[in-house]
Structure 1
Amino acid sequence: MTKERNQVWRLFASVKLALWLITLLAASSILGTIIPQHKAPEYYIQEYGSELARLFQVMDIVPNMYGSWWFVALLVLFSINLIVCSLDRLPNTWRMVVLDNLETTPERLQKMPLKAEMQINEEPAAAGERVRRLLAAAGWKTAARDKEGGVLLFSQKGAWSRLGAYIIHISILIIFIGALTGSVFGYKASIMFPEGETVEHLFDRKTGQPIPLGFRLHCENFTIGYYPNNMVRDYRSDVIIIDPEMFAEPLRTSIRVNHPLKHRGLTFYQSSYQPLNEFLIKVQNTKTGLERTAMVSPRHQVTWEEEGVVFGVTDTMADRMGRVHEFRIWFDSPGADPSTFGMKDKQNVTVQRPEADYSFYVQQRYATGLQVAKDPGVWIVYLGCGLMILGLYVAFMITHRRVWAYLSPADNGGSKLLLCGGSNRNKASFDQRFKELAQRLRQDQAIN
């Protein structure tokens, strides 16, 4: 049983297994990027044919590959592999971090590849104090211990950098936990509602079930911005948040493309719009200031009884997206024959009549499409990402550098200095700094 347990441990502690799992996860992510996710079955049949679409569905590649059992299983295996690898190697790494380097023997120091030997015209105790001051001036704060009739000084920098890889491992696990939290306790929903209307529910993108908002959202206005060539530049929903628990007064704000609205843990993204076959008409008597606003459908007339006038939209000219750019308006008032005239969307036109002039304004009504996401794990993911940046910095930008200085009695009554050093990474840079340190010590009058 112990042997079998050891074999399982060695399997999950294997770097080779980690490389295979990373390769499979990367290949799966590429596949999930190339094949669009969360589409209707008809989309896959149209794009890839019925046979290939059926294969995708059987293999659980669509409509949500990242939530499929096999992709989640890969993440779980990778997480176990990461934990076991870390636990298996951490004891040796920790021993290097807390190692008592003053226990290093003079024989081992002599075998180090990076070393320099010098003579000092002082006995070891006084020479040790001199070297300690010189190393401290160079930025190396040392500890000392008597060693075999001499004195051993030691200093190190960046010992904790050896733990950088484990910080990265922990950050990956935290990111996975955040993603799992968002997947289990969060959701993605959508809503499409016209200007002038208020909603209190969303609709889950997977199940289509309504989800209460917990507040009311009113779309006050929808605006499309255009480039000079009449191409759509962006679109914006001007909304009112009605939430007495949060605000004493309704809050007016806007949702734009790439500028989402965040409220109560929900993020509202401006994702789409739908032109409606309804038009807002405002008619004003410029003489009296009286105004009538009406929502009009094509070929339906509206009667303004106070003024005795009748108006309506007789025809429209729209593009292939359904956006109306020109209207034909029918207007009748007492004392004059009925008339028709053309006007553009969101244009003001004045119609002259014997009794008064009337100002017309017309605009097409739109429904705004919002994608809504609730992800309670997003801050956990941000924490993991921040920790990963820290781990990468520690692991690759900081090195564990060590310096020993051993002073032993010399035959002429002075001392011999053996200066040694080492680094776990970026050895070329450390070698250069070690040479500069040795040269700095030689500049002292008592050292040659």
Structure 2
Amino acid sequence: MNTAAPSLGRWGQFGRLLAWISDLRVAIGLLLVIAIASGIGTLVPQKEDGALYHRVFDGKPWLGLLNGDAILRLQLDHVYSSSWFLALLAWLGLALILCSWRRQWPALQAALRWIDYRSPRQLSKLTLAETLESPDPRAELTALQTLLAVRGWQLQPAEGRLAARKGVLGRVGPLLVHTGLVVLMVGAAWGALAGQRLERYLAPGRELELLSRRGDSQLTVALADFRVERDPAGRPEQFRSQLELSDGKGASLGAYEISVNHPLRFRGLTMYQADWSLAAIGVQLGKSPILELPLQPFPQLGEQVWGIVLPTRPDGSEPVLLTASNEQGPITVYSAEAQVIGSLSPGGPAVDIQGLPLRVASVLPASGLLLKRDPGVPLVYAGFAIALAGGSLSLVATRQLWAVAEPERGRLHVGGLCNRNLTAFARELPQLLAELRSTPQQG
């Protein structure tokens, strides 16, 4: 007995631990923490280069507390794939599984078992109970059985008594909700751990080669054309990219168009039209051939401003800055003293800039492509579907009814229970009995 007591104590502690993990209050707390973490993931830029967090948050810490080092150390730069966020999902999933195992599954099993009330005294203790005076209780019991069968109730008749139920499927709802949430979290964790994400800017005529984990070419994405559709005021309304796909051997896999809110899904890979930029500018200096030069962003001049510094003398002196905010122009020219000294139009004539004829032949826009491979998406969708189905079934009220005939006293005793919307069932039961009493009179 001395050796058994510590063992029983350990099992008791383990049982208390399981009860605490599956406690509803703990699950609600976890949901709140996960919701707050998801909000942080929305507010803090995700999966950017580490230098960006130092540049943005070192001078002005986030919430006045977290600088770039703290954000990187706490894994706030990749919240949804961080170890602590995945641990929260695992904890919540375990809590739901334990709750389903300890509570929902036994509740479903209990709901599927028929309860046989044999005496009027048992029925009198139910939430809803009625007693009908009847010259022939057994005949009325048979009539009640027929009436309930017509209305779709499940029946279990016995000698002198009847058990009936309706809406038992609603008891499956909570279990399905838990199952759906667990499947959803498994899909989210799988996508975070095994998913791939790549964001690139491509200019027309350029291509992007996607490699497998072993370094083999899997897919080549070439940008055939890119268009920015603008409103009459010149504001961007839609971006469209014409893509040409080919396999690792160069065989064509077809041409496709993507635009904002209209991605392409191909062999488990989703390609989004995410953004746009200016890639290059074609300039002609004097009588030189047209030079295609890359543009770079200048955030200090505006949110969407690209530019390039060009020398105007053979020795590299007297440079000028050419800037543009869209592919249509105009191209603004700044001197080394940051003074505006000219304006050029793409495809327009040359303009004298500090004694040098300068012409802009074209401005080449680039398409911002976001490529994502998320193997957990089917599970996430399946989890949503299961949870929604379970939530819908949870709205179905489970009603139970029992009747016992007492011929020696000329009485029919009827009682009922309902797990939700008891008020509606309390109105339905007298109507049911009134219809039962009117049936023989009509016959």
Tell me which interval the TM-score lies in, with the shorter structure as reference length: 0.7 to 0.9
In the other structure, the counterpart of 1:443 is 438
Q: Does 1:265 pair with 2:264?
A: no
In the TM superposition, what whole-angstrom CA distance separates every residue of 1:73-108 from its partner, at most 9, and x where no partner exists?
A: 222221222211221114530342222223454321
Q: Once the two structures are superposed, what CA deviation does each residue of 1:227-272 show, in whole Å capped at 9, x if it has no partner?
A: 1111111211112122498x98552221211111121211111122
Q: Matched residue of 1:255: which SS?
A: strand
Answer with 1 or 2: which has the greater Rg. 1
The equivalent residue for 1:331 is none
2:205–2:225: 8 Å Cα contact kept in structure 1? yes
Q: CA shift at 1:216, angstroms?
A: 2.3
Q: Quick one: distance in 2 between partners of 1:215 and 1:10?
A: 50
Select 2:222's aligned residue among 218, 228, 234.
218
1:175 equivalent in structure 2 = 184
Aligned to 2:355: none
- The alignment status of 1:239 with 2:273, answered yes or no, reads no
Aligned mates of 2:77, 2:152 — CA distance in 1: 59
Distance in 1 (CA, whole Å) between partners of 2:215 and 2:326 is 30
Q: Which residue does 1:230 correspond to in 2? A: 234
User: Which sections of structure 2, spanning at least 5 residues, go unmatched?
Assistant: 1-9, 291-311, 313-319, 332-342, 350-360
Match of 1:374 in 2: 373
Kept in 2, the 8 Å contact 1:32–1:61? The answer is no
**Superposed, which structure 2 residues align to 1:178-197 within 5 Å?**
178-197=187-206
Instruction: Specify which of 416, 419, 423 is matched with residue 428 of structure 1.
Output: 423
C-alpha separation in 2, matches of 1:346 and 1:392: 61
Q: Distance in 2 between matches of 1:39 and 1:109?
A: 67
One-letter amino acid of the structure 1 residue matched with residue 423 of structure 2: A
Change (3 A) 1:132 1:36: same
- CA distance in structure 2 between the aligned counterparts of 1:220 and 1:89, rounded to whole angstroms: 58
Instruction: Quickly say closer, same or farther: Cα 1:189–1:298, change in 2 above 3 A.
Output: farther
Are residue 325 (structure 1) and residue 324 (structure 2) matched? no
Match of 1:40 in 2: 49
How far off its partner does 1:10 sit?
Answer: 2.2
In 2 relative to 1, CA 244–421 (structure 1 residues): closer, same or farther, beyond 3 Å?
Answer: same
Residue 407 (1) aligns with residue 421 (2): no
Cα pair 2:117 2:402 within 8 Å, conserved: no
State the secondary structure of the residue aligned to 2:153.
coil
Q: Does 1:127 align with 2:140?
A: yes
Task: State the AA in 2 paired with 1:197.
Answer: R
1:443 deviates by 1.3
Residues 195, 220 of structure 1: 8 Å contact kept: yes
- 2-structure distance, mates of 1:175, 1:344: 53
Q: Separation in 2 of the partners of 1:227 and 1:14?
A: 55
Structure 1 residue 17 and structure 2 residue 26: aligned? yes
Determine if the alignment matches structure 1 residue 144 to structure 2 residue 144. Answer: no
Measured against aligned partners, the alpha-carbon deviations of 1:305-335 in whole angstroms (never above 9, x if no partner) come to xxxxxxxxx9x997642534369xxxxxxxx
Unpaired runs of 5+ residues, structure 1, are 204-208, 280-295, 304-313, 328-341, 350-361
TM-score scaled by structure 2? 0.76
Structure 1 CA distance for aligned equivalents of residues 280 and 121 of structure 2: 92
Partner of residue 353, structure 1: none
> What whole-Å deviation, never above 9, does each CA across 1:180-203 have from its counterpart, x for those lacking one?
221222210122222112332379
Report the alpha carbon displacement of residue 388 of structure 1 after superposing the two structures with TM.
Answer: 0.6
Conserved 8 A contact 2:100-2:178: yes
Deviation at 1:407, TM superposition (A): 1.3
2: distance between equivalents of 1:2 and 1:323? 72
CA contact (8 A) 2:131 2:413 kept: yes
Measured in 2, the distance between the counterparts of 1:97 and 1:346 equals 78
Name the structure 2 match of 1:275. Answer: 278
1:96 corresponds to: 110
Going from structure 1 to structure 2, the CA distance change for 1:213 and 1:322 (only over 3 Å counts) comes to farther
Instruction: State the distance in 2 between where 1:164 and 1:32 align.
Output: 31
| Residue type at the aligned position of 2:400 | R
**Closer, same or farther in 2 for the Cα pair 1:241/1:441, shift >3 Å?**
same
**Within 2, Cα distance between the matches of 1:36 and 1:244?**
34
Asked if the contact 2:247–2:253 (Cα under 8 Å) also holds between the matched residues in 1, the reply is yes
Q: Which amino acid aligns with 2:140?
A: A
* CA offset digits 1:62-83 (Å, max 9, x no partner): 2112222222222222122221
**What is the rounded CA distance, in whole Å, between the counterparts of 1:301 and 1:87 in structure 2?**
78
More strand by share: 1
- Paired residues in the alignment total 380
The match for 2:339 is none
CA-based RMSD of the aligned residues comes to: 3.4
> Which whole-Å CA distance do the structure 2 matches of 1:198 and 1:373 have between them?
17
